[in-house]
Chain A
Amino acid sequence: DTGVSQNPRHKITKRGQNVTFRCDPISEHNRLYWYRQTLGQGPEFLTYFQNEAQLEKSRLLSDRFSAERPKGSFSTLEIQRTEQGDSAMYLCASSFGKQGLGGYTFGSGTRLTVV
């Protein structure tokens, strides 16, 4: 068990390009979350999967954002037609069951810079 793995660690892209990030959760965790963190702010919830089903989406997740977890294991987050405002750290987290008092396990994040 190597924890939650996110790739790539850094991504620089030109405005208007599409980008895709990958998250590999802890293997026995059935729940997977995506968060976004901008400078000086705490993480903000984007979306949540239980197994392969996407059960919750934040209003922050515009139509340009799509997330998948096809086999209930790894997940991808795609941003189409990137904008400068998309520049942020994208964090993935996982848990077994509801996080309740136990918290999530976060990955180290993918830092996106849109130029």
Chain B
Amino acid sequence: DQQVKQNSPSLSVQEGRISILNCDYTNSMFDYFLWYKKYPAEGPTFLISISSIKDKNEDGRFTVFLNKSAKHLSLHIVPSQPGDSAVYFCAASLDYNNDMRFGAGTRLTVKP
């Protein structure tokens, strides 16, 4: 059962523009939502998160938006930089267990 879905396998944007990565989920009980970034030959690196009680969290160039009624979250990167080129995973978890569910990832390419 794929509870977290990233329907866009890839995204290409121009340097300096906004990157918007999307994620949908099916379990309305999720407490936390996280974004991880992965470079080749490395493990995923935690990027930013949001609690289910909030609808926005911002950290520098990165902002995560949560729409609970639509069971949708998005990651905005502004402005996009070539170093942001990586695979981005959306993840979600419940507070009472440790089974974090990941989406399949979106490969972001930022062109100079």
Binding site for B on A (CB under 8 A): 4, 31, 33, 40-45, 48, 55-56, 58, 91, 93, 98-109
B63 CB to nearest A CB, Å:
15
Contact status A91-B43, CB under 8 Å: yes
Chain B contacts for A91, CB-based, 8 A: 43-44
Contact status B43-A98, CB under 8 Å: no
Interchain residue pairs A-B with the least CB separation, the first 3: A103-B46, A42-B102, A106-B43
Identify which of A31, A98, A107, A108 contacts B95 (C-beta below 8 A): A98
Given A40-B9, A100-B32; 7 other pairs, CB 8 A cutoff: A41-B104, A43-B44, A98-B98, A101-B32, A106-B43, A107-B43, A108-B43
Contact status B43-A99, CB under 8 Å: no
Q: Which of B37-86 contact A (CB under 8 A)?
A: 41-46, 49-51
Count the B residues whose beta carbon is within 8 Å of the partner chain — how many? 28
Contact status of A58 and B43, CB under 8 A, knowing A42-B4, A99-B93: no
Chosen A-B contacts, 8 in total, with CB atoms closer than 8 Å, are A43-B44, A45-B98, A45-B101, A48-B98, A55-B98, A91-B44, A100-B95, A108-B41
Bound: A56/B43 CA distance, A: 22
Bound: A105/B47 CA distance, A: 11
Contact status A42-B104, CB under 8 Å: yes
B96 CB to nearest A CB, Å:
9
Bound: A41/B52 CA distance, A: 24
Contact status B98-A103, CB under 8 Å: no
Identify which of A33, A58, A103, A106 contacts B49 (C-beta below 8 A): A103
Bound: A102/B101 CA distance, A: 15
Contact status of A31 and B102, CB under 8 A, knowing A101-B49, A103-B49, A107-B43: no
